[in-house]
Amino acid sequence: MSTGPDVKATVGDISNDGNLNMAQEECSRKGFCSVRHGLALILQLCNFSIYTQQMNLSIAIPAMVNNTAPPSQPNASTEWPSTDSQDYWNETLKEFKAMAPAYDWSPEIQGIILSSLNYGSFLAPIPSGYVAGIFGAKYVVGAGLFISSFLTLFIPLAANAGVALLIVLRIVQGIAQVMVLTGQYSIWVKWAPPLERSQLTTIAGSGSMLGSFIVLLVSGLLCQTIGWPYVFYIFGGIGCACCLLWFPLIYDDPVNHPFISAAEKRYIVCSLAQQDCSPGWSLPIRAMIKSLPLWAILISYFCEYWLFYTIMAYTPTYISSVLQANLRDSGILSALPFVVGCICIILGGLLADFLLSRKILRLITIRKLFTAIGVLFPSVILVSLPWVRSSHSMTMTFLVLSSAISSFCESGALVNFLDIAPRYTGFLKGLLQVFAHIAGAISPTAAGFFISQDSEFGWRNVFLLSAAVNISGLVFYLIFGRADVQDWAKEQTFTHL
């Protein structure tokens, strides 16, 4: 990380040259070829890897418990048949599946294994964000990505060794994944110009939706063809390959990056010159507790992730139970909202920055407008779902529209913490992750309770509750949300006598 004097010296040089406008024009002509956009794409790949590693066990565990592959024939020939190559390929796939073991895990044990990933999620975000803010995100995020990817490769071996080792591995893996998801936002404090903050963060964040889409789409196919262990080998290998890009290409500060152009460096540093980005060791906890704009973001985070985790957990169940879709079709249909959401997240970020750069709307207006759109329309759509369930096409259209429109929140309240307190970005992101995990722990449980009580009206009650929670968070955010840097997040100056 660069020191304060180095940054001030660089800013002084820029001011003396008077080349900011020229640098900005040159950087805008480069568009997505800039280093900062390359950083966003690498972070997108990191998020893609983390989300595939989060979800792969949930999809592979039915095959791990109920393996119906026929036993391998000890006398079967492994030579290439001269009659039909397709028969040889089919036999090869059967041999792959036969090598995948099956386990006698009860539903209770399966639940513990699946939930073990979240055991460290309540404690790890705040320390991870704080450390990333102080020491830089490069090594915090890189270490988390490597640990999670490396451990993913060993999940099949851990499953063979016993349930206890698998649970321990998943707990460590969950902590490593929190390091990636929390620490990465500290990078944008030094890399994201205010007029491009939305698009850069949404490009990076869209990897989560893309990862969810891919893992839902292909994991079932991998389990059916070559066996469930390869779900972990493939996605763990992708994460390890991503580490090869991360460590040599990512730097915490554009001033120290060896491949960035002088014009882009001038533009980024000068655009952030008036913003105090230097992290502080001490935290103004008392001022944070009293800050209504911060509480507006925290409550909005909780409410929006309530709906997100409900949809994440129960979309496959809703499609299979209400639409009577088979397992393969349910996986494909469940993946559709995520790929549309991935595209709309990026488009929403570009639109938000366009409105801000052209001075069409103020920053706080953009944050509140995008949050309102991302909350109100999906809430109305989801409440209407029970009345269109007789039509499969309308149901899927509503689910896709809900995912697409809710992605506007990524350019609204969900990125607002970067505006009000850039000095404490890492810590605040960790705090927000805790609120998101609390919502993730409560909302699926509440949804399961409603569905188990009344199979006919349970889904309606689930969607009504999610809409009510979401809209209540929106009202609080519209009243108390702000986009200017708060006093407690500004550097304190002292007069020495």
Q: Is 4 helix (H, G, I), strand (E, B) or coil?
A: helix
Average pLDDT over residues 487-494: 70
Question: Rg of the Cα trace of the chain?
Answer: 24
Furthest-apart CA atoms within the chain: distance in Å: 95
Supply the pTM of this predicted model: 0.81
Taking each helix axis from N to C terminus, what angle separates 163-183 and 425-453, rounded to the nearest 10 degrees?
130
**What mean pLDDT is predicted for residues 46-64?**
89
Is residue 439 within 8 A of residue 302, CB to CB? The reply is yes
What gap in Å lies between CA 77 and CA 94, rounded to an integer? 13
Q: What is the mean pLDDT of residues 90-109?
A: 66
* Residue-wise pLDDT tens digits, 235-277: 999 999 999 999 999 999 999 999 999 999 999 989 888 776 6
Residue 328 pLDDT grade (very low, low, confident, very high; cuts 50, 70, 90): low
Give yes or no for residue 176 having a pLDDT over 50: yes
Asked if the model's pLDDT at residue 84 lies above 60, the reply is no
Check: CB of residue 443 under 8 Å from CB of residue 309.
yes
User: What is the distance between the alpha carbons of residues 384 and 7, in angstroms, rounded to a whole number?
Assistant: 53
pLDDT at position 79 is: 37
User: pLDDT category, 106, cuts 50, 70, 90?
Assistant: confident
Query: What is the reported pLDDT for 334?
Result: 78
Q: Is the pLDDT of residue 40 over 50?
A: yes
Contact criterion met (CB below 8 Å) for 211 and 218: no
Mean model confidence pLDDT for the chain: 83
Given a contact cutoff of 8 angstroms between Cβ atoms, the answer to whether 195 and 356 are in contact is yes
pLDDT in tens, 375-427: 999 999 999 998 888 888 888 899 899 989 999 999 999 999 999 998 898 89
Separation of alpha carbons 148 and 176, rounded Å: 6
User: Domain 34-66+105-274 belongs to what topology?
Assistant: Growth Hormone; Chain: A; (1.20.1250)
- Determine whether domain 291-492 maps to CATH 3.40.50.2300: no
Closest CA to 59 of 263, 325, 312: 312
Residues found in the chain: 497
Candidate ranges 49-58, 128-137, 234-243, 302-311; pick with highest mean pLDDT? 234-243
Of 456, 447, 220, which Cα lies nearest the Cα of 322? Answer: 456
Q: Which pLDDT tens digit goes with each residue over 439-470?
A: 888 888 888 888 878 767 888 999 999 999 99
- pLDDT, average across residues 42-70: 82
Q: Specify the pLDDT at position 491.
A: 67
Inter-helix orientation angle 229-249/197-225, to 10°: 150
Close Cβ partners of 390 (under 8 Å, ≥ 6 residues apart): none
Cα 86 to Cα 318: distance, rounded to the nearest angstrom: 37
- The 10 Å CB-count burial string (b at 16+, else e) for 404-432 is bbbbbbbbbbbbbbbbbbbbbbbbbbbbb
114: left (phi over 0), alpha (psi -120 to 50) or beta: alpha
Q: Which of 103-112, 167-176, 177-186 has the lowest mean pLDDT?
A: 103-112
Q: Give the residue ranges of DSSP H helices in 323-391.
A: 327-357, 363-384
Phi then psi for 228, rounded to 5 degrees? -65, -30
Nearest CA-CA partner of 375 in 436, 299, 304: 304
Location of each CATH 1.20.1250.20 domain in the chain: 34-66+105-274, 291-492
Answer whether residue 324 shows pLDDT above 80. no
Q: Mean pLDDT, to the nearest integer, of 212-228? A: 86
Question: Are the CB atoms for 35 and 257 separated by under 8 Å?
Answer: yes
Tokens of residue 61, six digits: 């565990």
The predicted pLDDT at position 5 comes to 41
Which structure tokens are listed for 9?
């010296």
Q: How far is Cα 134 from Cα 279, in angstroms, rounded to an integer?
A: 6
Please say whether the beta carbons of 423 and 276 come within 8 A.
yes
The pLDDT of residue 143 is 95
Q: Give the pLDDT confidence score for residue 21 in this predicted structure.
A: 54
